[in-house]
Amino acid sequence: MSSSSIVAIVPILCVMAAGIAAMLAEAFREPGERIPISGLGLVGLAGAGISTVLLWGRHATGFGVVAADTFGLFVVMILVVIGVMTMLLSPRMVERDQLPGGEYYALTLFALAGMMLMAMATDLLVIFLALEVMSLAVYVLTAIRRGAEASVEGAFKYFILGGFSSAFFLYGLAFVYGIAHTTKLDGVGSALAGEAASHPTLALVAVGLLLVGFGFKVSAVPFHMWTPDAYEGAPTIVAGFMSTGVKAAAFAAFVRVMVTAFEPLRAAWLPVIWVMAAITMILGTVVGVAQTNLKRMLAYSSIAHAGYILIGLAASNDVGRGAILFYLLVYGVTNLGAFAVIGLLATRDRANDDLASMAGLSNRHPALAAVFAVLLLSLGGIPPTAGFVGKWYIFNAAVRSGDYGLAIIGVLTSVVSIFFYLRVIVMMYMAEPGDAPSSPEPSRAAVLTLAATLIVTFYLGILPAPLLELAARSVGSLF
Amino acid sequence: MFPVLTTIVFLPLVGALLLLLIENRDGRRDAVIRWTALAASLLVFAATLLLWSRFDPSCADFQFVERHDWIPSFGVQYFVGVDGISLFLLVLTGVLTPVALLSSWESVHKKVKEFSAFLLVLESAMLGVFVSLDLFLFYIFWDAMLIPMYFLIGVWGYDRRIYAAVKFILFTAAGSVLMLLAIIGLAWMHNSITGTGYSFDLLKLYDLRLPWQYEFWFFLAFTLAFAIKVPLFPFHTWLPDAHVEAPTAGSVILAGVLLKMGTYGLVRFAFPLFPSAAAFFAPALALLAVIGIVYGALVAMVQPDLKKLVAYSSVSHMGFVVLGICALNVQGMQGAIYQMLNHGISTGGLFLIVGMLSDRRHTRQIAEFGGLKAVTPRLVAVFLLMTLSSIGLPGLNGFVGEFLILLGAFRWDPRYAAFAASGVILSAVYMLWMFQRVNYGPVTHDENRSLPDLTVRERWVIIPMVAMAIFMGVLPGIFLRPMQPSVDRLLQRVSREAVARAPAAGRTDVTLRATVPADVRVKN
């Protein structure tokens, strides 16, 4: 074990250490004593962020199975942003919903560590390991409101189906090992390039099984069934965390596996991804239109967004991969922000997460309503917000590969999606105020986080060049 | 060089941000906000006038050009400029925004700060559309415009405002997303044809020679977006709803400026970027335009609601503009551009007057009025003037535009001109009939006996429109001359390309139509 091996996983270690510290803090806490556990998480994430910056461009590898390449580090950076936002937004909500604080933060941090490992892993076995670290933590987070029926139901569905999909993944991994005699991605790639002809069926089965596993984690149709239930049942901030963090990590691994290990079989999996992207976008938006619960609506919207990101993969060019990175960042920030607003509106005994409770929000909480409106417009892809640039970049990729069909489905479904995002805005600004009670003033940290989200949304919408180029350059490390 | 255009475009936005800083609890500072917004918009207006005075009318190139890299890896630039075609649309936007603000002085009491801010943001986006010479930049402004308009209709509109607002935004967004794909496609084609990288630069893309099939589809994508905005029959169904439900200021801006973006888009983007496709599709577009002219007029005739009547008259009048563009000759094109301005003035003015009537009576039903001439003589006088301007009475602005368009259409294909001319007659029928029912005869409703005449504020709202209508009718040369070089350049671009590359399916008479000697031009 050389020192450079350790260096590559320092970001993960920082977050892991913070998670352990959070557990210890909870264990040593006197009953009734208040410890700012989220602060520990912030320290760990700061460490992860700084080490990510320091690792940038050094191409460190860890133990032959983890690569701190720019692609992985970019995703780690997205995860750090998501983690920091979650830590800043959580305290008031954890207190209000009387969630067990220590467990909540520790699990969030462990999930983040798993996500980061997933983003950087270059070995299928390690990817599986990371996937499980992440998933187990998230299953528990979904069920953390033990008393609430919806929470338990959602978590149970998520857990059962998730376990099922993990089994698929593992089965696929076994096939891969059977063909290539290795689980390292580059090894698999060269083995398939050489021997694909000799085991075509086996190789295709392997890809198919892995696709099921990844499809589940990114909630692509037809593996999306769990998403609305899990998001609705989970505490709102957890739903925001899941919808962004899990998706970013899973997409990072997905892209890495597809373009390195399975590049030789591209002709076989590309049509599958194409169809998956198309039906994911269509189903996500069409079913989203019918939702009256905001969390379910955002769940379907997150399904649709998975479809847009899949366009980037289906384009199978550098632009597409860069677009995926940029999109994950933009989507992560805006979607988490949107969930956070819903979370902030809840009171102890009322979730306030249905469309009707948004009525007249612009009078009760003008600032929150404005932030929510901007974030929704960004999710809908209206300029000059970050969401527009993200979609524009994705469609660039599709057009570049000559795939106008997918691009047309993409733009048309985004118009449909504007319809349901606008419905919320209609309620907030144009409907008569309902009987929803005023929610407590959000904490200062939450206000600052949302303000930062807003600034990022506009900044990336107006001056996206630096980050676009960073994302474009980052994907170069995949080969 | 001082960034004139950037200043003009973003000045309203700065004004809007300033407004947001003003604390306005329970509407106590409404007056301050109204004056600030008005001052900002007047400043913009003054700036557009200054721009006009510095504009070199003999030059066909884009002037006041600013160009900066924006997203270099994709060839996206911040690239703005004006020519004779966009100059007056900027001035028009500059005139109409303060008028719209002033018109809502007493009719908008709810959330005055947000109302004024949205109007100013809208102004920024509209100005941006007219100066953008980079397709990415253009699209940003084009789409960004939807949001403030959506709020203006949805929050401050009448009863069915939410339905109208959502319909407005979905129609327009559905049209424009395909254009977005075509824009991206163009940029990539620029790379694959020239090999010099991706570019959204309009001037470079003008010189691009696309394969016919790309040109065909891209033209359709662009034209769909613009046709919905114009709106061209049969894409017009959002317009009556949006107009009727929008507050007066919204209707004025919608009719005055937003609709022009559709026709401006055809002139600036769709036709010169895809000349062969334009020549190929021009007859079909002209046919839709003529159907729109007649259909809009017929539907306007039977409307019981004043605002709806004016809205359908818009469909008819904008049909003229599209017809003029499709004629692809100097008269048609100049007439079309002139008619864009006219329509902004006359329809904007009519919406203002309808707004004044509905402020007084809280109804817009024609049957609720009658005999107003005896009660409010001044209001009726300006009403008459705007009505006549809309009909196209010689001496007023509408005549010049319609005449040029009909001339252009006639030189192209007399059949179009014949049908379009029937629209002129029909417009006289429905407008005068409406005017008669509202203003002449005995006063049939007692509520109408005590209506106040124009207030001082209302005079300031309507006088600019009346003055413009007369001025543009008497001295059209002032406007037509600076347009001339740009229009010539545009037609050269469209015709030369079309001649050089028209496929077998293309038309052969393009040459004859488009290379008209300069002496046939109408000079007033």
Q: Do B184 and A468 touch (CB under 8 A)?
A: no
Residue among B339, B353, B347, B482 nearest B397 (CA): B339
Q: Do A399 and B188 touch (CB under 8 A)?
A: yes
CA distance B239 to B222: 19
Whether residue B181 and residue A399 make contact (CB cut-off 8 A), yes or no, is yes
> Which amino acid is present at A245?
G
Tallying the residues shown for chain B, one arrives at 524
Nearest beta carbon to residue B181 from set A384, A411, A426: A411
Residue A18 tokens read as 């913070």
What would the DSSP string read from start to end of A244-296?
IIIHHHHHHHHHHIIIIITGGGHHHHHHHHHHHHHHHHHHHHHHHHT--BHHH
How large a percentage of chain A has pLDDT more than 90? 59
Nearest-angstrom CA–CA distance, B37 and B23: 14
Distance CA B402, CA B296 (A): 16
Q: How many angstroms away from the CA of A415 is the closest CA of chain B?
A: 6
Residues of chain B with pLDDT under 70: 27, 496-524
* Residue of B136, B180, B199, B228 to mutate, testing the A interface (most A Cβ within 10 Å of its Cβ): B180
- Residues A286 and B16: their CA atoms lie apart, in Å, by 36
With an 8 Å Cβ cutoff, the interface of chain A facing chain B consists of: 377, 382-384, 388, 392, 395-396, 399-400, 404, 407-408, 411-412, 414-415, 418-419, 422, 426, 429-431, 464-465, 468-469, 472
Determine the number of helices (DSSP H) and then strands (DSSP E) in chain A: 21, 2
Q: Which chain A residue has the Cα nearest residue B159?
A: A430
Nearest CA in chain A to B142: A383
Collect all residues of chain A within an 8 Å Cβ-Cβ radius of residue B181.
395, 399, 404, 407-408, 411
Report the amino acid identity of residue B462: I
CB-CB contact of B189 with A430 (8 Å): no
Q: Is B50 helix (H, G, I), strand (E, B) or coil?
A: helix
Taking the CA of residue B143 and the nearest CA in chain A, the distance in Å comes to 6
Which residue is associated with the tokens 């983003």? A119
Contact residues, chain A, for B144 at CB < 8 Å: 382-384
Using an 8 Å CB-CB cutoff, list chain B residues near A465.
Answer: 69-73
Query: Contact A383/B71, CB-based, under 8 Å?
Result: no
User: Looking at the partner chain, which of B147, B165, B188 has a beta carbon nearest the beta carbon of A382?
Assistant: B147
Q: Which residue of B has its CA nearest to A465?
A: B71
Q: Give the integer Cα–Cα distance in Å for A413 and A401.
A: 20
Among B160, B135, B43, smallest CA distance to B97 is for: B43
Task: Compute the count of residue pairs across chains A and B with CB atoms less than 8 Å apart.
Answer: 77
Query: Which residues of chain A make contact with B161, given a CB cutoff of 8 A?
Result: 430
Tokens standing for residue A477 = 């490390």
Compute how many other C-beta atoms are within 10 angstroms of the C-beta atom of residue A26.
17
Q: Which residues have a Cβ under 8 Å from the Cβ of B158 and sit 6 or more positions away?
A: B244, B245, B246, B247
In terms of CA atoms, which chain A residue is nearest residue B155?
A: A430
Least Cα separation, residue B432 to chain A (angstroms):
37
pLDDT at B134: 93
Segment A13-35 mean pLDDT: 87
CA distance B365 to chain A (A): 25
CA distance B359 to chain A (A): 21
Q: Which candidate from A383, A396, A422 shows the least CB-CB separation from B169?
A: A422
Q: A375 is written with which tokens?
A: 């974030």
Q: What are phi and psi of A259, to 5 degrees?
A: -90, -10
Contact A224, A161 (CB under 8 A): no
Select the residue of B72, B177, B184 nearest A415 (Cβ to Cβ).
B177
Average pLDDT, chain A: 90
- Whether the CB-CB separation of B73 and A472 falls below 8 Å is answered with yes
B511: its two tokens: 């040459």
- Within 8 A by CB and 6+ apart from A137, the residues are A107, A108, A110, A111, A114
Cis peptide before A222 (omega within 30 of 0): yes
Contact assessment for residue A465 and residue B71, using Cβ atoms and an 8 Å cutoff: yes
Q: Are A17 and A62 in contact (CB under 8 A)?
A: no
Q: B319, B317, B316, B323: which is closest to B283 by C-alpha?
A: B323
Instruction: State how far the Cα of A99 lies from the Cα of A116, in Å rounded to an integer.
Output: 25
B238 Cβ contact list (under 8 Å, min separation 6) = B164, B167, B168, B171, B172, B228, B231
**Is there a contact between A430 and B161 if contact means CB atoms under 8 Å apart?**
yes
The structure tokens 């677009």 sit at: A323
- Count Cβ atoms below 10 Å from residue B487 Cβ, excluding itself: 25
Closest Cα in chain B, distance from residue A383 (Å): 5
Q: Do B181 and A412 touch (CB under 8 A)?
A: no
Say what the pTM is: 0.91
Q: Tell me the nearest-neighbour CA distance from A335 into chain B, angstroms.
A: 20
Q: Quote the pLDDT of residue B122.
A: 94
List the one residue out of A242, A256, A247 whose CA is nearest residue A210: A256
Q: Which of A411, A416, A463, A470 to mutate to test the interface with B (most CBs of B within 10 A)?
A: A411
Closest-CA distance, A221 to chain B, in angstroms, reads 24
Give the C-alpha separation, A264 to A63, whole Å. 26
Q: What are B's interface residues with A at a Cβ cutoff of 8 A?
A: 69-74, 136, 139-140, 143-144, 146-147, 150-151, 154-155, 161-162, 165-166, 169-170, 173-174, 177-178, 180-181, 184-185, 188
Give the mutation candidate from A418, A424, A475 for the B interface (greatest B CB count, under 10 A).
A418
Identity at B2, one-letter amino acid code: F
**What are the tens digits of pLDDT across the range B377-420?**
888 899 999 999 998 888 888 888 899 999 999 998 899 999 88
Token duo for residue B60: 């066909």
User: Contact B181/A383, CB-based, under 8 Å?
Assistant: no
- Integer Cα distance of B397 and B164 in angstroms: 31
pLDDT band at A94 (very low <50, low <70, confident <90, very high): confident
DSSP string, B291-313: HHHHHHHHHHHT-SBHHHHHHHH
- The alpha-carbon gap from B254 to the nearest alpha carbon of chain A, in Å, equals 20
pLDDT at residue A408 is higher than 50: yes
- B-chain CB neighbours of A431 within 8 Å are 162
**Block residue for tokens 């990729």:** A397
Query: Domains in chain A: how many in total?
Result: 1
Place of tokens 């309902």: A434
Burial B425-460, CB ≥16 within 10 A → b, else e: ebbbebbeebbebbbeeebeeeebeebeebeeebee
Nearest to B155 among A377, A419, A430 (CB): A430
Q: Give the length of chain A.
A: 479
pLDDT attached to residue B513: 40
**Residue B67: phi, psi to the nearest 5?**
-145, 120
Identity of residue A255: V
Q: Which residues pair with residue B134 across a beta bridge?
A: B201
Instruction: Give per-residue burial for B16-54: e unless 16+ CB within 10 Å, then b.
Output: bebbeeeebeeeeebeebbebbbebbebbbebbeebbee
| Residue A32 confidence (pLDDT) above 90 | no
Q: How many CB atoms lie within 10 A of CB B211?
A: 11
Question: Which domain does A382 fall in, by range?
Answer: 3-478
Owner of token pair 């003033």:
A441
| B420 vs B290: CA distance, rounded Å | 6
Q: Alpha helix (H) ranges present in A121-148?
A: 124-142
pLDDT (tens digit, 9 = 90+) per residue, A249-288?
999 999 999 998 888 888 889 999 999 999 999 999 999 9
User: Quick one: CA torsion of B181, B183, B189, B191, rounded to 10 degrees?
Assistant: -120
Q: What is the pLDDT of residue A3?
A: 58
Q: Report the gap between the CA of B217 and the closest CA in chain A (Å).
A: 11
Distance of alpha carbon A96 from alpha carbon B2, whole angstroms: 55
User: B181, B213, B218: which to substitute to probe chain A, counting the most A Cβ within 10 Å?
Assistant: B181
